[in-house]
Amino acid sequence: MPSVTRLQITPLGCTFAAEVEGIDFSQPIDDGLFQELRDAVTKYGVIVIRKTALDDDSAIALGRRFGELDSVRAHRLAGRVMRIPNDEIFDVGNLDDKNQIVTTKDPNRHATANGNALWHADGAFNPRRTGISILRGVELPPKGTGGHTEYLDSRAAYDDLSDEKKKEIEGLIGCNSLFHNRKVANPDSPLFKDIDPATKPLAKHKIAQLHEASGRMNLYVTSYCHHIDGMDLGKGQALIKELFEHCQQDKYKFVHHWQDNNDVAIWDNCAVLHRATHGDYEGKYRRDMRRVSVFDMGPTAYGENDVSTYWQQGLP
């Protein structure tokens, strides 16, 4: 660790989350400063940086310094028409491919918004999971109309489990599906009504695992987790529910209220959970949010999945 730090870090939540100042993204970021940024993300799980000078290209370049980037190709192949031509930008706001505000008349995008409002870790439904997410509020809706992002400290949630529970879940493997999240989030949608997620390709990741960068254990149970590998379905789903509810207690929660255009949040999906929230802005005001996703670069990035049969799940 450098003896003189250049970042100013202000903790925001009880156990995690911080606001970071001291980086001018319009200038080159030297290795020492980037390492301080990386260390802050590792320690706090999620950091907020206000009024950055990042654009699509510099956000992608920043993402590449964390590791190899994921892309939207799986969603494009599934039939989604993209507003933003760059495959390394995930378009997660409320604008359609014609740059118009999405309404409930767009069943796919409406279902996606509902799905993202459930607690999740980005990319947990893929065999190669996501590590760092960099989310930029390019154009925010008027203040007071909602659209904040919420986070859970899943490392603290693990720490607080009893020794017996930690022993019980050691080595258990969650079977994850994007369809499970969408089905739960959209119970009345004909898009998912007849789909059994268990019949779809499942991404297998241990539900408790070491977060290598911090040396702390993390509870990796998200709304994509359909069942526990090899366990009776009902028993496994009851365990998932128990752990998921434990993690969602207010004491583990931090709410990020977006303030200004080009505010940025950077988080580690192997250390926190997050969700988007609904708000009055939906259907009325533009909310242009763009994410760069970095693959987990650690040894458990591929979980318990067969790397020789690599696939990614995508939806229109």
Indicate the residue among 146 and 236 with the shorter CB distance to Fe ion.
146
Which helix (H) or strand (E) segment holds residue 181: the answer is helix 178-185
**Cβ contact 258:94 at 8 Å:** no
Indicate the residue among 119 and 192 with the shorter CB distance to Fe ion.
119
Strands (DSSP E) along the chain, which ranges?
A: 8-11, 18-21, 46-49, 90-91, 130-139, 149-153, 173-176, 203-206, 208-211, 216-219, 225-228, 253-256, 263-268, 272-276, 288-295
> What is the layout of strands, in order, in the sheet containing 90-91?
8-11, 18-21, 46-49, 263-268, 130-139, 288-295, 90-91
Q: How far is CA 220 from CA 35, 207, 242, 296, in A?
A: 25, 5, 13, 13
What is the closest distance, in whole angstroms, from the C-beta atom of residue 246 to Fe ion in the complex? 21
What is the closest distance, in whole angstroms, from the C-beta atom of residue 133 to Fe ion in the complex? 7
Part in contact with Fe ion (CB under 5 A); list of ranges 78-86, 121-129, 206-214, 223-231: 121-129
Indicate the residue among 40 and 134 with the shorter CB distance to Fe ion.
134
What is the closest distance, in whole angstroms, from the C-beta atom of residue 85 to Fe ion in the complex? 22
Closest CA to 285 of 97, 25, 60, 100: 100
Part in contact with Fe ion (CB under 5 A); list of ranges 79-87, 120-128, 148-156, 184-192: 120-128
Residue closest to Fe ion, measured at CB? 122
Part in contact with Fe ion (CB under 5 A); list of ranges 49-57, 102-110, 122-130, 234-242: 122-130
Indicate the residue among 239 and 294 with the shorter CB distance to Fe ion.
294
Tokens describing residue 39 = 């260390």
Part in contact with Fe ion (CB under 5 A); list of ranges 67-75, 114-122, 202-210, 292-300: 114-122
What is the closest distance, in whole angstroms, from the C-beta atom of residue 266 to Fe ion in the complex? 13
CA triplet 25, 46, 11: central angle to 5 degrees? 90
Can residue 153 be called a binding residue for Fe ion (CB under 5 A)?
no
Which helix (H) or strand (E) segment holds residue 85: the answer is none
Part in contact with Fe ion (CB under 5 A); list of ranges 31-39, 117-125, 279-287, 296-304: 117-125
How many residues sit in the footprint of Fe ion (CB under 5 A)? 1
What is the closest distance, in whole angstroms, from the C-beta atom of residue 116 to Fe ion in the complex? 5
Interstrand relation of 216-219 and 149-153 (parallel, antiparallel or unpaired) = unpaired
What is the closest distance, in whole angstroms, from the C-beta atom of residue 254 to Fe ion in the complex? 15
Judged by CB under 5 A, the residue of 36, 70, 88, 122 near Fe ion is: 122
What is the closest distance, in whole angstroms, from the C-beta atom of residue 223 to Fe ion in the complex? 10
Residues in touch with Fe ion (CB under 5 A):
122
